[in-house]
Chains A and B, each alone.
Chain A
């Protein structure tokens, strides 16, 4: 009954075209009606309490840093740098795209923005060199979804706050799985592009490479700085965000001089607005989380999953399959907000490491950004590459499968996450 009321009210309100934040609000009120106790003070108190959290401050900081970097010419230099090294190889531009995706992932947390930035730079070049455009766009779309897995990641922050799991640990745990996604794309690209006839760029000499390296050094050392800073405890995740902001501003405005100071104001406004949209949604999700906790919903879900409860791998497999299915129709943020409070009690009860679960859950949600019918990165890539959704899907399949296989491997072998994590957090 609780499950029916929960899903019914939530999906009904979403279908009406309400903002999902208010659909969660309506869902909370429906759960209150079910429990026979309308308590409006819970609505107001839990709403603001949901946003009143220092770790969440990382969200506006990383949003702002991302905007500043896009405006400051950082992605362009990463692409140029990679071009001078692998541009002359067969399928070289594909490797450039994957390298740039991983690098951008380690700087920003936004899948759609990364895919858009890399696509805008590389797709015209790939088209001209004779690469299959839908396949190229598919590769870049699949590369974009690495962003939420490799830190910094707004998805990992939100999961950490809702599930009460250390964000610092989640960040460090995401690195290797994110790199594995990149590696899976390299293998898939080698396979599908092996017979392509494309013009290859001239091989560059070391002088050119060195110059591109020097010009791009400020962009290239940023991931090292952020991840190193987290690993060596120079700053907390929130502070990493603010350091990234200041760094991106200084590099963009004073070193690359591509960020005019008058751009700063609109960038601040845009970042504040994006922050508000995401955090308002988190806050409403925490109202329904309170009611979910008080209802029997987690127990009911646990009962439904009880046949798998004894076998962690099987349970993870079932949960991940559910999230893949939900992810086809719901995008990243809503899936995260709705499912985290429902699933966490089950995860804890089954004795699954919450950090391990968090990384896989976020990876799964990220992959949801490129599964049809609803996937925002798909829409963005169609626009950037100027192709239809059907064309893009044809090009995307191999890469989507490659990433799903990575997810599957991580379910089968949790040590692929846990061993590198232990190594990274070793004092």
Chain B
């Protein structure tokens, strides 16, 4: 599993670097050569969308989505388990609806081409399949662990109150 997430992290890093290169390249081209590559604006935006929605799955895995744990922390283990089960079930429902909505919208996006690159828009808007499946699977696993009584106390709060500082992991290492 950690191999998979390492590969995803590498993908995120590559896409972010590509965004920097493309957008910075355009600034340079505009000033140095009074020209620009119109494709790079659109492509950088698409990479950004992918980073966001693939990264959202990683953030679920890391427990780094923003949330407020003040209330849940005051509860007993029993109370925490109830809240956790409820919240993971709701997340699962959200993911199912998201997946279904993307499916209903699939044809509309597949038949629409991006204005400049002319990539079918499903390659951009279909990224919600990835988020729905990844986050949904995460919720399912957690619910399974609750059902089988194997859930550990520290798993019951998997959000972060910190919106700004995310520790930089050691080079090359996975988070866990």
Contact = CB atoms under 8 A, between A and B. Distances in A.
A adjacent to B, CB under 8 Å = yes
A23 B67 CA distance: 9
A103 B87 CA distance: 42
A44 B12 contact: no
Residue among A61, A246, A272 with most chain B CB within 10 A: A272
Given A14-B67, A44-B98, A57-B44, A276 B128 contact: no
Interface stretch (A176-184, A215-223, A326-334, A398-406): A326-334
B52 A276 contact: yes
A112 interface: yes
Interface of A is mostly: helix
A29 B92 CA distance: 13
Interface in A337-378: 373-374, 376
Interface string A260-288: 00110111111111111111110100000
B24 A246 contact: yes
B53 A51 contact: yes
A106 interface: no
A330 B133 CA distance: 30
Given A48-B124, A272-B12, A277-B55, A42 B101 contact: yes
A367 B98 CA distance: 35
Given A242-B24, A263-B171, A16 B86 contact: yes
A380 interface: yes
A48 B171 contact: no
Interface of B is mostly: helix
B164 interface: yes
Contacts of B98: 40, 43-44, 47
Interface size class of A (residues with CB under 8 A): 35 or more
B55 A41 contact: no
> What 10 A-B pairs are tightest by C-beta distance, nearest first?
A276-B55, A40-B101, A19-B65, A44-B101, A272-B12, A17-B72, A268-B13, A44-B102, A112-B164, A18-B87
Given A18-B87, A18-B90, A19-B60, 7 more contacts: A20-B66, A26-B90, A41-B105, A48-B124, A266-B168, A269-B13, A281-B65
25 contacts: A17-B68, A17-B83, A18-B159, A19-B65, A19-B67, A20-B67, A22-B91, A44-B98, A47-B128, A48-B53, A54-B41, A57-B48, A60-B48, A242-B20, A245-B20, A246-B24, A266-B171, A273-B12, A273-B58, A275-B48, A276-B56, A277-B65, A280-B59, A281-B66, A374-B161
